[in-house]
Amino acid sequence: MKARFSPLQTIAILLLAVMAVLVIVVPLLPIYDPYGQNLSDSLLPIGGRSFNGHFYLLGTDTLGRDMLSRLALAGQVSTLIGLSAVAVSLVIGVTLGLIAGYFRGPIEAIIMGLADLQLSIPRVLLLIAVTAIVGPSVAGLAIILGVTSWVSYGRVARGMTLSLREREFILSARVQGASAVWNIRQHLLPNVLPQMLIVASYEFGMIIVLEASLSYLGLGVQPPLPSWGMMVAEGQNYLALAPHLAIMPSIALFILVIGFQFLSQAFTKENDLEMVA
Amino acid sequence: MTDAAIAAEATPTTALDRVPVLSVHNLCIEVKTPDGERVELVRDVSFDVNEHEVLGLVGESGSGKSLTMLAVLGLLGSGLRIVSGSIRLRGQEITNLSFHEMQKIRGKAVSIIFQDPLTTLNPVLRVGKQVAEAIRLHNPDKGEAEIKARVIELLSLVGIPNPERRYSQFPNEFSGGMRQRVVIAMAMANEPDLLIADEPTTALDVTIQAQVMEVLAEVRARTGAAMVLITHDLGLVSEYADRLAVMYSGRIVEQAPSAELFASPRHPYTAGLIASLPQLERKVETLYSIPGFVPDPRKRPTGCAFAPRCAIANGRPLCLSQSPDLESIGANRAVACHYSAETAAWSTAYQAKLENVATETPLPVRKQGDGTTVLRASNLSKVFTVRGKGLQRSKLYALRNVSFDLKAGKTLGIVGESGSGKSTLARVLLRLAEAGGGEVYLNGSPLFSLRGRELRQRRRDLQVVFQDPYSSLDPRMKIHDVIAEPLRIAGSYSAERVNQLLEHVGLTAAAGQRRSPEFSGGQRQRIAIARSLALNPDVLILDEAVSALDVSIQAQIINLLKKLQQDLGLTYVFISHDLSVVRHICDEIAVMYLGRVIEYASTEAVFSTPAHPYTRGLLAAIPRIGMWPHGKGLLARGDLPNPMKPPSGCAFRTRCPMATALCAENEPVLSDHAETSHLSACHFALA
Ligand code: SF4
Ligand code: SF4
């Protein structure tokens, strides 16, 4: 195996590296202070310096908090929510997809019916309704986002299972007395999972955007915990005065989402070749 | 074949009037592997194809036969490159032509027929349009009406009934055989000088294969085109080719007129191939099998590439150090072997050994031939409901009253073409599909009523080996784990047992540490067999288990199966479309047609006195070495009828050369004729 990357992979890796620095490295720096307010330093521009000589690489917000630190913390919150939501939806989707594809019959009809139903209701609307009832919290957000986005995993998992279950190594195992659980664990899951990771890298971007939109609407993360969506919402009011307030989180969001999109496309290309062969 | 065609084939050609249509000289083709290594896939290949001639290009997979002809067409894929040598079509050098110039030649001077008509035809275009396209490409100024008339003429030339109606149909409305006829029509559209047929009938059933080969011979006779017939099927080339070139690991190892080649092969590989072919005429206890497998072109042995597998090399230094050149031996013959003079003696000695074995031990006693019934099927039936357009539902009777009775240690052959229901039968026996009716008894107790854990326990006695060695092994698993799987399911895993199983099938314990993609087709099939034997089954269902393998590998696996049967007292159900293999391995045969058993008897009886016209047609359709022309009157006519609307009375009557009015009224029952236990379902069965 040689470690040579395609252009797409290289871009994806670069973009994600930038985000990793923001989310992981920045909080380790001494300047990290997402909550410290300093009203006299409020709304400093990018690279701004306060009169007492404090340097703010990305400026400050309305309350004079360091934008870089805020962005990093918000990034942590967003990725945390994204990852947990993806994990939740992956588990639900793969389980339901494998069950539907392996057992077929009425179970499959029910599961796929559920999927159709889920898709027929706009996700944002559903999310708004649910958060309005349950009330916003980070854990709740992750679970709700996860539960409502299992359908793409389920569909792909089912499709792959349908073709795999007719493959002769699974037929052989059935003839040898393998139970459904055995076949699903030993043969289906390991063959389906790599494909699921592609779906996951695509879905991750979607979830981040969804979370941002919810937070933007005030239904997501609650202050003082920042989230990119919320930061965009706050910054909107100062677009003329301090455009970086809304622009910086937007750019961060953009980089993360595009990075994951590219990553999933790069994966898909690689795996297509495998599927053909 | 028409008389004209036979005359054309038989026309003696003297050395003087020979103008080569195609002449390939010292052709070398290389591939660049992803890690930048260059590998020679075709090495120093030279041959001529003369006017009116059929040259058979024979070789196993990886021999370079198809690559050579793709080079002639200028269709080498990316990464492949002609390094040296020349290709002349009617004297014109074509290796240095641009893609555009080559396009003018393809289809006009030379055209090709690929193996799979399904992928050759565009599924969304009407058939007539596709043939018209082939004409228009090279005749841009022909009028619409003129072209259409020509298409219809071509379609009727290749024996497609109702060409006017068929003109505007789509490929999926054609059967496999009819599609291949369309492809032939396209290839012949501009009356090319040279036709390249790459495994043209490999995807078709035998009865259809015979029809398609005849059409091919007829259209060739009409236009006088020369042909290169690329195939792995020695029987087919022996019937249809004038001259043969045998390829091995990228080189031509022997060239000879076909009759001479089969009568006295000079290269040890050719001799070995011929000896390893199961034959219809006689049954031998063990087939000769060329040991080992075709070398990876990256790791070709130095010296003669065939040396590690050669029966007469004996490790002689010349074979190991120097690659033999293709040298002419007598008129029209050439061979690439240092010791080709010894091949004849080897063949004779081998033949003599066979006959000795045959006379001394007529029937070796089997370990467990105690006459108890192990597997019994009674009146199995299976109906599929097929959804048509809208609310239409039609019923497909995949199995109708199939019964048999299989004694311990015996082998039952289930023979049939596509649509016969033989694969459905395998699935029903294995309970991978539920039967619509009937019962299967394994060691005397019924199988169908079993559920859950009980079923999982009992089905261990009935195991299966599938056709496709590529999809039967989980690619992610180590071979050791593949074979261990049934043991783990049963909770009786031990590493020794796995190694013992590997040894049973001729593999080492070390092989267990590798993954399936590293193994060749034959080795994978060995692994699949080892896995099926893990739980000591009584019955093994071999579903086309050797059909996907090359001739020399097929012989190895057949011998292995026979040996395992002797050693372990196994009972086999051997499902196959290949009658010569079936003859070689089976004790009894059931022939199926459209879901029904239409003949059921001992192997000897089926081959010596086939009772059903379909069986006789099948036997007549099999191309065999040194036998031509075959019983033409016996061939089944036309295509398989739509299984959703089978004909009234006898299902075979639409294709039967003996059908009468009675056949349309009453369905014949499967019953004895004269001899006991020779069952057949025909009103006019021959005893
Ligand atoms: S040259 Fe030697 S190894 Fe090669 S085929 Fe002849 S005898 Fe066998
Ligand atoms: S019953 Fe009639 S149609 Fe059927 S096989 Fe016999 S002769 Fe042919």
What's the pLDDT at B365? 46
In this structure, what token pair is assigned to residue A219? 């239904």
Q: Which residues of B touch A173 (CB under 8 A)?
A: 485-486, 489
CB of B400 sitting under 6 A from ligand 1: no
Average pLDDT over residues A15-31: 79
B319 contact A CB<8A? no
Percent pLDDT > 90 in chain A is 13
Average pLDDT in chain A: 80
Percent pLDDT > 70 in chain B is 92
Give me the sign of the Cα torsion angle B500, B501, B507, B510.
negative
CB A71 within 8 A of CB A130: no
Nearest CA to ligand 1 atom 7: B313
- Sorted by where each begins, the domain ranges of chain A are 75-276
Query: Smallest CA–CA separation between A249 and chain B, in Å?
Result: 43
ipTM of the complex: 0.71
Q: In a 10 Å sphere around its CB, with 0-12 CB exposed, 13-18 middle and 19+ buried, how is residue B630 labelled? A: middle
The model's confidence at residue A153, banded by pLDDT at 50, 70 and 90, is very high
Cα(A71)–Cα(A243) distance, integer angstroms: 15
What's the pLDDT at B125? 83
CB of B301 sitting under 6 A from ligand 1: no
Nearest CA to ligand 2 atom 5: B682
Cα(A192)–Cα(A98) distance, integer angstroms: 9
Would you tell me the crossing angle of helices B343-360 and B268-276 to the nearest 10 degrees?
20
The model's confidence at residue A271, banded by pLDDT at 50, 70 and 90, is low
What's the pLDDT at B75? 82
B598 sits in which H/E element: strand B596-602
What's the pLDDT at B398? 87
What's the pLDDT at B357? 59
Please list the residues that pair with A48 across neighbouring strands: A56
- Cis bond before residue B123 (omega within 30° of 0): no
Answer yes or no: is pLDDT of A92 > 90.
yes
Average pLDDT in chain B: 84
Question: How many other CB atoms are there within 10 angstroms of residue B328's CB atom?
Answer: 10
Nearest CA to ligand 1 atom 3: B307
What's the pLDDT at B283? 67
The full length of chain B comes to 687
B678 sits in which H/E element: strand B675-680
Q: What is the pLDDT of residues B508-529, one digit of tens each?
A: 888 888 888 888 888 888 999 9
CB contact under 8 A, A2 and B474: no
Answer yes or no: is pLDDT of B590 > 80.
yes
Cα(B416)–Cα(B626) distance, integer angstroms: 25
CB of B594 sitting under 6 A from ligand 2: no
In this structure, what token pair is assigned to residue B592? 């199926």
Least confident of A236-250, B419-433, B533-547, B603-617: A236-250
B-chain residue closest to A274, CA distance? B475
User: B526 to each of B78, B112, B467, B500, how far by Cα in Å?
Assistant: 34, 36, 12, 13
Average pLDDT over residues A126-135: 78
What's the pLDDT at B294? 82
Q: Which phi-psi region, left, alpha or beta, contains residue B90 (left: φ > 0; alpha: ψ -120 to 50)?
A: left
Answer yes or no: is pLDDT of B286 > 80.
no
What's the pLDDT at B626? 60
CB contact under 8 A, A168 and B468: yes
Distance B25 CA to ligand 1 centre (A): 23
Average pLDDT over residues B317-335: 88
Nearest CA to ligand 1 atom 2: B319
Which among B592, B634, B650 is the best mutation to test ligand 2's pocket, defined by most ligand atoms within 8 Å of the CB?
B650
What 3-state DSSP class applies to B39? strand
Buried b (16+ CB within 10 A) or exposed e, B232-265: bbbbbbbbbbbbbbbbbbbbbbbbbebebbbeeb
Cα(B55)–Cα(B24) distance, integer angstroms: 13
Q: What is the pLDDT of residues B336-345, one digit of tens each?
A: 999 888 888 8
Cα(B270)–Cα(B361) distance, integer angstroms: 28
Distance B675 CA to ligand 2 centre (A): 19
Q: Closest ligand 1 atom to the C-alpha of B311? A: 8
A172 contact B CB<8A? yes
Q: What is the pLDDT of residues B632-681, one digit of tens each?
A: 567 777 778 887 888 888 988 888 888 888 888 888 888 886 666 788 88
Answer yes or no: is pLDDT of A33 > 80.
no
Average pLDDT over residues B103-117: 82
Looking at per-residue pLDDT, the higher value among B212 and B10 belongs to B212
Cα(B187)–Cα(B197) distance, integer angstroms: 10
In this structure, what token pair is assigned to residue A14? 């670069």
Q: Which of B476, B485, B528 sits opposite A173 (nearest CB)?
A: B485
Looking at per-residue pLDDT, the higher value among B431 and B282 belongs to B431
Q: What is the pLDDT of residues B168-195, one digit of tens each?
A: 888 888 888 888 889 888 888 888 889 9
B40 sits in which H/E element: strand B38-50
Cα(B323)–Cα(A171) distance, integer angstroms: 46
Give me the sign of the Cα torsion angle B157, B159, B162, B164.
negative
Answer yes or no: is pLDDT of B413 > 90.
yes
CB contact under 8 A, B459 and A171: no
What's the pLDDT at A88? 93
CB contact under 8 A, B489 and A175: no
Q: Which residues of B touch A177 (CB under 8 A)?
A: 455-457, 459-460, 486, 489-490, 535
Backbone dihedral angles phi then psi of residue B413, each to the nearest 5 degrees: -95, 130
What's the pLDDT at B18? 60
Distance B506 CA to ligand 1 centre (A): 25
Looking from the CA of B215 toward its CB, the CA atoms found within 13 Å total 27
A-chain residue closest to B458, CA distance? A177
Cα(A116)–Cα(A90) distance, integer angstroms: 17
Q: Which of B432, B460, B472 sits opposite A169 (nearest CB)?
A: B472
The model's confidence at residue B100, banded by pLDDT at 50, 70 and 90, is confident
What's the pLDDT at B282? 67
A75-276: CATH homologous superfamily?
Answer: MetI-like (1.10.3720.10)
pTM: 0.79
Q: Which residues of A touch B456 (CB under 8 A)?
A: 177-179
What's the pLDDT at B8? 44
CB of B659 sitting under 6 A from ligand 2: yes
The number of the ligand nearest the C-alpha atom of B269 reads 1
The model's confidence at residue A4, banded by pLDDT at 50, 70 and 90, is low
Backbone dihedral angles phi then psi of residue B602, each to the nearest 5 degrees: -70, 155
CB contact under 8 A, A176 and B430: no
What's the pLDDT at B10? 43
Average pLDDT over residues B140-169: 86
Nearest CA to ligand 2 atom 3: B653
Cα(A34)–Cα(A23) distance, integer angstroms: 12
Query: Smallest CA–CA separation between A26 and chain B, in Å?
Result: 40
Cα(A87)–Cα(A92) distance, integer angstroms: 9
First to last CA, chain B: 30
Question: Of A167, A165, A145, nearest to A93 (Cα)?
Answer: A145
Q: Which of A175, A178, A187 sits opposite B463 (nearest CB)?
A: A175
Query: Smallest CA–CA separation between A94 and chain B, in Å?
Result: 19
Answer yes or no: is pLDDT of B575 > 90.
yes
Q: Which of B432, B476, B531 sits opposite A190 (nearest CB)?
A: B476
Q: Which residues of A touch B525 (CB under 8 A)?
A: none
Q: Which of B456, B472, B474 sits opposite A177 (nearest CB)?
A: B456
Answer yes or no: is pLDDT of A98 > 90.
yes
B662 sits in which H/E element: helix B661-665
Average pLDDT over residues A103-132: 85
Question: How many other CB atoms are there within 10 angstroms of residue B618's CB atom?
Answer: 27
Cα(B174)–Cα(B195) distance, integer angstroms: 23
Query: Smallest CA–CA separation between A182 and chain B, in Å?
Result: 8
Percent pLDDT > 90 in chain B is 17
CB contact under 8 A, A175 and B464: yes
Q: Which residues of A touch B474 (CB under 8 A)?
A: 169, 187, 191
CB contact under 8 A, A168 and B471: yes
Query: Smallest CA–CA separation between A210 and chain B, in Å?
Result: 36
First to last CA, chain A: 18
Question: Of B531, B603, B630, nearest to B278 (Cα)?
Answer: B603
What's the pLDDT at B510? 85
The Cα diameter of chain A in Å comes to 79
CB B192 within 8 A of CB B108: yes
The model's confidence at residue A5, banded by pLDDT at 50, 70 and 90, is low
Average pLDDT over residues A64-80: 83
Cα(B380)–Cα(B439) distance, integer angstroms: 6
Q: Which of A174, A179, A187 sits opposite B474 (nearest CB)?
A: A187
CB of B337 sitting under 6 A from ligand 1: yes
What's the pLDDT at B372? 85
What's the pLDDT at A68? 81
CB pairs A-B closer than 8 Å:
61
CB B95 within 8 A of CB B72: no
Q: What is the pLDDT of residues B208-256, one digit of tens each?
A: 888 888 888 888 888 888 999 998 888 888 888 999 999 999 999 999 9
What 3-state DSSP class applies to A18? helix
Query: What one-character-per-residue DSSP string does A47-98 give?
Result: TEE-TT--EETT-B-TT--BHHHHHHHHHHHHHHHHHHHHHHHHHHHHHHHH
Cα(B64)–Cα(B46) distance, integer angstroms: 13
User: B529 to each of B91, B309, B432, B466, B671, how far by Cα in Å?
Assistant: 52, 23, 19, 9, 36
Answer yes or no: is pLDDT of B36 > 90.
no
Amino acid in position B603 = T
Strands (E), A143-275: none
Strands (E), chain A: 48-49, 55-56
Q: What is the pLDDT of residues A198-215, one digit of tens each?
A: 888 888 888 888 888 887
What's the pLDDT at B7? 43
Q: Which of B460, B472, B489 sits opposite A168 (nearest CB)?
A: B472
In this structure, what token pair is assigned to residue A247? 């622009």
Query: Cα–Cα–Cα angle for A231, A233, A234, nearest 5°?
Result: 65
Among A121-130, A140-149, B381-390, top mean pLDDT goes to A140-149
CB A72 within 8 A of CB A32: yes
Please list the residues that pair with B543 across neighbouring strands: B575
In this structure, what token pair is assigned to residue A115? 């999927």
The model's confidence at residue B607, banded by pLDDT at 50, 70 and 90, is confident
Buried b (16+ CB within 10 A) or exposed e, B429-456: bbbebebeebebbbbeeebbebeeeeeb
